[in-house]
Amino acid sequence: MRAKISYFVTAAVLVVYLVLVGSRGVLLIEQGTLLTVTFGVAVLILPVIGLWFLWQNTRFVRKANALAAELDAEGGLPVDELLRTPGGRIDRDSADAVFAERRAETEDSPDDWRCWFRLAVAYHDARDTPRARKAMQRAIALHAGRPPAA
């Protein structure tokens, strides 16, 4: 729940920022000179990119959560068997051991979205966010019946 609240707060702050930037772009365009209109159009591109980025990330999170709910209903969510440091962080060696298991499982069943989902969780636990995201994108594509991106 804490992650959802953080996500919504961050998204709301981003939207407010994009509205402020957009209003500055409109003000620049209203000045009417070649220079300010050019800068105003350039400034208006930033909110468009920001909104696109926010939309893509929101879609990704919703699809990943839908997969998690389906996997939970099947009883296939990975069990948290990781050791923790006294400060609560995941022990790196423990995460690497679980990752090796998940990787072997995925190599045995490369077309199973469930394996890719669990591999994404293992990547995340091993603090490899870019690979976790790619593995989750592959799980989403396999679940949707689309060929995964190369």
pTM of the prediction? 0.80
- Can you tell me whether residue 75 is helix, strand or coil? coil
CA distance 78 to 60: 20
CA distance 140 to 118: 12
- Per-residue CA distances from 103 to 20, 67, 114, 143 (Å): 45, 19, 12, 18
Q: pLDDT tens track of the chain, all 150 residues?
A: 788 899 999 999 999 999 999 999 999 999 989 999 999 999 999 999 999 999 999 999 999 999 999 999 998 888 777 878 788 788 787 888 888 889 999 999 999 999 999 999 999 888 889 999 999 999 999 998 887 766
What sections of the chain are H helices per DSSP?
A: 2-31, 34-74, 92-108, 113-125, 129-144
- Under DSSP, the state recorded for 112 is -
